[in-house]
Amino acid sequence: MPDVITLGETMVLFAPLEPGPLRYARHFEMRFGGAESNFAVGIVRLGFSAGWISRLGDDEFGRYIFAQLRGEGVDVSRVKFDPEAPTGLFFKELGRPGGTRVYYYRRHSAASRLSPEDLDAEYFAGARWLHLTGITPALSESCRAAVEAALGLARRFGLTVSFDPNLRLKLWPLATARRVLLPLLQQADVVLGGHEELCLLLEKAAPEAAAEALLAAGVKVVAVKLGAEGALVITADSRERVSAFPVAEVVDPVGAGDAFDAGFVAGQLLGRTLAESARLGNACGALMVSVRGDYEALPTLAEAEEFMAGRLPPAR
């Protein structure tokens, strides 16, 4: 059984080989991406076992994702192929003002049919950690029920729970996100969120105030991702700002938050302090943005340690 369990949608990604508006793109490379599977790959590379629960279309795209994640060492034994719904797709647009744009084609996908019936209690019984994101409950009512069921199993078997809100306003309006996500976040031990999304969800002007509100609701640790400013880790008894690692050029920002999550969780599983875990998360995020792709640049623990020691520069 894996050390860490996560669940959610992974889609096939088509990325143009040249920057510019998609309407002029002629050549694409096929990859895949999803917050939870990115996280799972990150956990595996950092030395722990990870299981990813989802549904894929019974199609070539689904088989591609399944094979790739299995090849990365992620346990995909609880993935189901759905013959009645397709694997979701998304496209990246590179070089636009404001950075990368992403276009999703995921409505009625196989993953949106994930439900509590797809969860295996025995699988949770042998795990140590459950990681969830706010993307999954936004996909459908059955996905929302699956997340709630996963939280119930985590409580039943004593798993530590981390939750990244990963707010996606393309999937639902802010008012709905608040109504659904806040009760879920309050059931987590650790919340790993970006400063902007936490302020939006908690209706606070500063991330510190948002973190304090979560702590008051029962969350034990809040790690606020501050991008180039690093991270802020807050508990009821402490507050530490952990500096970021400088990056010469941000090639592709997608996946940096997932990399931070993997580094932070791995740090905790290694028995490191909260600040040391955030530092590992910052290192993973810095290495991630230096290369194109949603998961390709996720480091091994040895690579992250070398980078933090100043002996491994980000790729260029």
Instruction: Tell which residue, 270, 278, 283, has the closest CA to residue 311.
Output: 283
220: left (phi over 0), alpha (psi -120 to 50) or beta: alpha
Q: What is the pLDDT along the chain (316 residues), one digit of tens a residue?
A: 899 999 999 999 998 988 889 999 999 999 999 999 999 999 999 999 999 999 999 999 999 999 999 999 999 999 999 999 999 999 988 776 556 788 999 999 999 999 999 999 999 999 999 999 999 999 999 999 999 999 999 999 999 999 999 999 989 999 999 999 999 999 999 999 999 999 999 999 999 999 999 999 999 999 999 988 999 999 999 999 999 988 777 766 777 899 999 999 999 999 999 999 999 999 999 998 877 767 788 999 999 999 999 876 655 4
List residues bridging with 56 in a β-sheet: 81
CB atoms within 10 A of CB 145: 15
Instruction: Tell which residue, 179, 181, 200, has the closest CA to residue 191.
Output: 181
**Phi, psi dihedral angles at 306 (to 5 degrees):** -60, -40
Query: What pTM, to 2 d.p., does this model score?
Result: 0.94
Q: Which token pair is 164?
A: 């990244």
**Phi, psi dihedral angles at 14 (to 5 degrees):** -110, 115
List residues bridging with 191 in a β-sheet: 163, 222
Give yes or no: 258 in active site.
yes
Write down the catalytic residue from 164, 252, 258, 294: 258
In whole angstroms, give the CA distance from residue 119 to residue 127: 13
